[in-house]
């Protein structure tokens, strides 16, 4: 799982600020998934992206959250005007383009704390 | 819709005891994958196993073993001779099989395992 790189590992934001979380997938992977883990809970799916496309954002809150995966560079999860309830660990996973294996490896997560 | 239930919120055992973590799942898909992940106190997710729904053979890896029973929709995880380093939160997860559009994982709520020395 060391191949999926997330940064920063820890992020502290004041209420109302913006948070940007980055995910660099494993080499050769063109699919990225974002999950959120609230304290003491399991992981919940947020969004599934391929390069330059959002495939499934059914788990994404309707407001303040957005995600992108540009042709070049990492995938970005952006949270605008953060609130205390956004405090959580955000995990990214990546998978290859050929649909025969599902993703099994995650990045180490970004722990967002809103103060 | 898919659902994963881990009814045991927390389990505490003494070192060297065997422990089984339960996982029950619901899905309408005929093809699917089941997973177990370990999340140690440091917070990262460690992949343990992936099992295809076509393969009901039990699997053993060192002190870890998995019992997949389609008839009861269960995928239980047993740690034999537990060690303090096994202390972590363990998640069971489920996803659709290959050649489907959505491959996101559905996670259970996790079981926290405390192994006392």
Q: Which residues of chain A carry a pLDDT beneath 50?
A: 1
Residues facing A33 on adjacent strands: A48, A93
Q: Does B55 touch chain A (CB under 8 A)?
A: no
**Tell me: the pLDDT tens digits for B58-94?**
888 899 999 999 999 999 999 999 999 999 999 999 9
- As a whole number, mean pLDDT of residues B35-40 equals 94
Q: Is there a contact between B82 and B67 (Cβ–Cβ < 8 Å)?
A: no
Q: Provide the mean pLDDT of chain B.
A: 91
Given pLDDT bands bounded at 50, 70 and 90, which one contains residue B96? Answer: confident
More confident residue, A30 or B103: A30
Name the DSSP class of B115: E
CB within 8 Å: B95 and A102: yes
Percent over 90 (pLDDT), chain B: 68
**What residues in chain A have their Cβ under 8 A from chain B's Cβ atoms?**
1, 31, 33, 35, 41-45, 48, 55-56, 59, 89, 91, 93, 95, 99-106, 108-109, 111
| Candidates A1, A44, A56; nearest CB to B102 | A56
Q: What is the pLDDT of residue B101?
A: 55
User: Is B98's CB within 8 Å of A99's CB?
Assistant: yes
Using a CB-CB cut-off of 8 Å, the residues of chain B touching A93 are 105
Q: Are A81 and A89 in contact (CB under 8 A)?
A: no
SS3 call for B26? strand
Give me the pLDDT at residue B55, please.
84
Asked whether the beta carbons of A14 and A22 are under 8 A apart, the reply is: no
CB atoms within 10 A of CB B67: 16
Residue B24, both tokens: 């029950």
Better-predicted residue by pLDDT, B11 or B61: B11
Burial state string for A57-89 with b = 16 or more CB within 10 A and e = fewer than 16: bebbeeeebebbbeeeebbbbebeebeeebbbb
Question: Distance from B72 to chain A by nearest Cα, in Å?
Answer: 23
pLDDT confidence band for B30 (50 / 70 / 90): confident
Contact indicator for A46, A67 with CB cutoff of 8 Å: yes
Instruction: Provide the 8-state DSSP code for B110.
Output: -
Q: Where does residue B81 fall: left (phi above 0), alpha (psi -120 to 50 degrees), or beta otherwise?
A: left
Q: Can you read off the two tokens belonging to residue A3?
A: 């191949």
The residue of chain A with its CA nearest to that of B94 is A102
Count Cβ atoms below 10 Å from residue B22 Cβ, excluding itself.
Answer: 17
CA distance A41 to chain B (A): 6
- Which residues in chain A have their CB less than 8 angstroms from residue B45's CB? 1, 43, 91, 106, 109
Q: Find all residues with CB under 8 Å of A47, minimum gap 6, and list them.
A: A33, A34, A54, A56, A57, A59, A60, A67, A77
Tell me how close the Cα of B55 comes to any Cα of chain A, in angstroms: 15
**Chain A residue with the nearest C-alpha to that of B43:** A108
């Amino acid at each position: 799982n060391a191949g999926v790189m997330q940064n920063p590992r820890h992020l502290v934001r004041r209420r109302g600020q913006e948070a940007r979380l980055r995910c660099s997938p494993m080499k050769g992977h063109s699919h990225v998934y974002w999950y959120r883990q609230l304290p003491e809970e399991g992981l919940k799916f947020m969004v599934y992206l391929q390069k330059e496309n959002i495939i499934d954002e059914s788990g994404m809150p309707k407001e303040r959250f957005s995600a992108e995966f540009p042709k070049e560079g990492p995938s970005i999860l952006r949270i605008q005007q953060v609130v205390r309830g956004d405090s959580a660990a955000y995990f990214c996973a990546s998978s290859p383009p050929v649909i025969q294996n599902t993703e099994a490896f995650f990045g180490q997560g970004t722990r967002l704390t809103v103060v | 819709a898919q659902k994963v239930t881990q009814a045991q919120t927390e389990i505490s055992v003494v070192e060297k005891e065997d422990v089984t973590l339960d996982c029950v799942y619901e899905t309408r898909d005929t093809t699917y994958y089941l997973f177990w992940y370990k999340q140690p106190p440091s917070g990262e997710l460690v992949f343990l196993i992936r099992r295809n729904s076509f393969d009901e053979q039990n699997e053993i890896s060192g002190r870890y073993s998995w019992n997949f029973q389609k008839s009861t929709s269960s995928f239980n995880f047993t740690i034999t001779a537990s060690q303090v380093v096994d202390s972590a939160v363990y998640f069971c997860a489920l996803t659709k099989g290959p050649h489907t559009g959505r491959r996101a994982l559905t996670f259970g709520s996790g079981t926290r395992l405390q192994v006392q020395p």
